[in-house]
Chain A
Amino acid sequence: MGTVASTKPYIMPALSEYAAVESRLKVEGVSLRYQSPSGETFTALDNVSFEVPDQQFAVIVGPSGCGKSSLLYLTAGLSEPSDGAIYVGGKKVDGPGADRGMVFQSYTLFPWLTVRQNIEFGLKRRGLPGDEINTIVEFYLNEVGLAKFAQHYPKQLSGGMMQRVAIARALANDPQILLMDEPFGALDSQTRLQMQQLLLQVWGNAKKTVVFVTHDIDEAILLADRIYVMGARPGRIKEVLDVPIDRPRSMDVVMEPEFIRMKRRILELLHDDLAEVH
């Protein structure tokens, strides 16, 4: 039985069970306020609402302190909003869960586990049978091009490789949505370009909804179907822009007039925001 299972290609579970849901992610009137030690209230997010359709690549850009990462943590269920609610696949977010995979900016591989064991982590927690786990792990090891490194420990990998494992580890759980918090922020610019292409390819195969946070405008336009530009103090969405550039996109899109026009618009929005502060 085991040999039959391993020769069969891994097929993603059908998404039809969610087909009734038109918006994979729905953020409804979400506010996030902190009480500073001196008693002042700091508004990190002010009444933010938006929806991300199924299988879309959504990118959130904004200056530091605009609450873009907070939005991801709230969606992951790692923190709670002061007001409002977030729905993923029609279900209200209440605490973290495997249905919302996340890739962090810092390297979060478990250093005591090999690449293979890292990808297995979530599958083991769910108690899947061994041959099923193996099939899924093999599939994603190949997807991110690390089949040869399955037995390596994280300390033996480069930063880009570690983030590839983190992506594979999150996708192996077959989440409803993939949350990415500046995942390439710590990488050098060459590796960053490679990772962007790899992510687009993996995303194309996996047909997942992605919410990707970055402060890099080029990265945002290259990756996104739709860009949510945020402003700071208080954190809010200033404008939503659709990216009218055909896929597949190579690195050369940065030369296209449409790309440059969008970049100028986003820069304007971000500059306005800086002008408001000063």
Chain B
Amino acid sequence: MATARSWINRCLTPKVGLPVKIIFAASTLCWLAVLGLWVGLSYGGVVPNMFLPTPGAVFDAAVRLTNDGTLAKHVGASLEVVLIGFAISSLVAVPLGLLMGSFRIVQAFLEPLVNFIRYLPVTSFVPLFILWIGIGLEQRVAVIIFGTFFQQLVMIADVSKGVSKDLVNASYTLGATRRDVVFHVLGPASLPGVLDTLRVTMGWAWTYLVVAELVAASSGLGYISLKAMRGFQVDVIFLAIAIIGLLGLITDQLFRLLRLRIAAWAQ
């Protein structure tokens, strides 16, 4: 039997694998520590409940808002914005990014502009979008698109650029035309990288969602947080944050499963 000493040794050695049990224990421990700290600080009265709600209060808020239907309505509104914005952005960014990475001329044409826009803070455009589009759904969708599209474009171009030249050459010697190379080599070869990019940028879409909903909205999780702040309902703010985290986690896992399913041939 392995001694406790040897396990400690393994944990302290760089780049050494560990059994699943230890990994699971470490992950659980971190969560328990955070929750324990929260329980201690709130129930122990160290921080006033006005600033830090008790876990029980957050749970009560969840039950209350679920029962009167508010929660479902706002979660639905947020999901709608994120999914529409992310879908529109991805539908354009994926094909355009693949072209940008495959054809030097497309890259030369788009890259300087894209790199300029990419570094502009999305938040600085929010007032402009409100002025142009108003404060409806379209405005929030625009913020999501603006936040994710240019990042996706550059990342997907990199994926396509990373496809091995030998793979392309091999297909030419097998009789592939340039069209074949684009559709039968560069396309499928980029698939795992494209899915990884979508998974990462989906996380950013959630971030921009809250930005959009905090500034100008009449529904959504960001909106109820802002409203709760005005009414000193810290429990509702905590609830909104927890739900955004949870929804982010679920979409992330969905993308992970999707990749395992349709790109199983990659690692």
User: Which one of A100, A106, A122, A170 lies within 8 Å of B166 (CB-CB)?
Assistant: A106
A170:B174 contact, CB within 8 angstroms: yes
B173:A76 contact, CB within 8 angstroms: yes
Measured between C-beta atoms, what is the minimum distance from A3 to chain B in Å?
A: 29
Please list the residues of chain B having a beta carbon within 8 angstroms of any beta carbon in chain A. 164, 166-167, 169-177, 180, 184-185, 188-189, 191, 263-267
B173:A96 contact, CB within 8 angstroms: yes
B169:A104 contact, CB within 8 angstroms: yes
User: Which one of B170, B185, B264, B265 lies within 8 Å of A102 (CB-CB)?
Assistant: B170
Q: Which of A122, A166, A173 has the most CB of B within 10 A?
A: A122
Residues in A neighbouring B180, C-beta threshold 8 A: 125
> With A106-B166, A108-B166 as given contacts, are A98 and B174 in contact (CB-CB < 8 Å)?
yes
User: Which one of A96, A101, A110 lies within 8 Å of B185 (CB-CB)?
Assistant: A110
Q: Does A19 contact B (CB under 8 A)?
A: no
Beyond the given A96-B172, A112-B263, please list 13 additional residue pairs across the A-B interface where CB-CB is below 8 A.
A73-B169, A96-B169, A101-B174, A102-B173, A104-B169, A106-B166, A108-B167, A108-B170, A110-B167, A110-B188, A112-B266, A125-B177, A154-B265
B173:A101 contact, CB within 8 angstroms: yes
Measured between C-beta atoms, what is the minimum distance from A163 to chain B in Å?
A: 12
Measured between C-beta atoms, what is the minimum distance from A171 to chain B in Å?
A: 11
B189:A112 contact, CB within 8 angstroms: yes
Within 8 A of B (CB), among A39-84: 73, 76-78
User: Could you list some 5 contacts between A and B, CB below 8 A?
Assistant: A77-B172, A125-B174, A125-B180, A155-B265, A173-B174
CB-nearest residue of chain B to A106: B166
CA distance A97 to B172 in the complex (A): 6
User: Which one of A106, A112, A121, A153 lies within 8 Å of B174 (CB-CB)?
Assistant: A121
> With A111-B266, A112-B189, A153-B265 as given contacts, are A104 and B174 in contact (CB-CB < 8 Å)?
no
Residues in B neighbouring A126, C-beta threshold 8 A: 175
B175:A122 contact, CB within 8 angstroms: yes
CA distance A102 to B175 in the complex (A): 11
A-B CB contacts (within 8 Å), total count: 74
The 8 closest A-B pairs by CB, nearest first: A98-B175, A122-B174, A108-B170, A96-B172, A102-B173, A112-B188, A153-B265, A112-B265
Measured between C-beta atoms, what is the minimum distance from B146 to chain A in Å?
A: 33
B170:A155 contact, CB within 8 angstroms: no
A104:B170 contact, CB within 8 angstroms: yes
Q: Which of A112, A125, A169, A170 has the most CB of B within 10 A?
A: A112
Measured between C-beta atoms, what is the minimum distance from A159 to chain B in Å?
A: 15
Q: Which of A101, A110, A169 has the most CB of B within 10 A?
A: A110
> With A78-B173, A125-B175 as given contacts, are A104 and B166 in contact (CB-CB < 8 Å)?
yes
A173:B175 contact, CB within 8 angstroms: yes
B265:A108 contact, CB within 8 angstroms: no
Interface string of A141-169 (1 = CB under 8 A from B): 00000000000011100000000001001
> With A106-B164, A110-B185 as given contacts, are A169 and B266 in contact (CB-CB < 8 Å)?
no
B266:A100 contact, CB within 8 angstroms: no
User: Which one of B173, B177, B188 lies within 8 Å of A170 (CB-CB)?
Assistant: B173
A100:B173 contact, CB within 8 angstroms: yes
Residues in B neighbouring A153, C-beta threshold 8 A: 264-265
Q: Which of B175, B184, B265 has the most CB of A within 10 A?
A: B175
> With A104-B169, A110-B167, A110-B188 as given contacts, are A169 and B265 in contact (CB-CB < 8 Å)?
no
Measured between C-beta atoms, what is the minimum distance from B230 to chain A in Å?
A: 53
CA distance A126 to B267 in the complex (A): 31
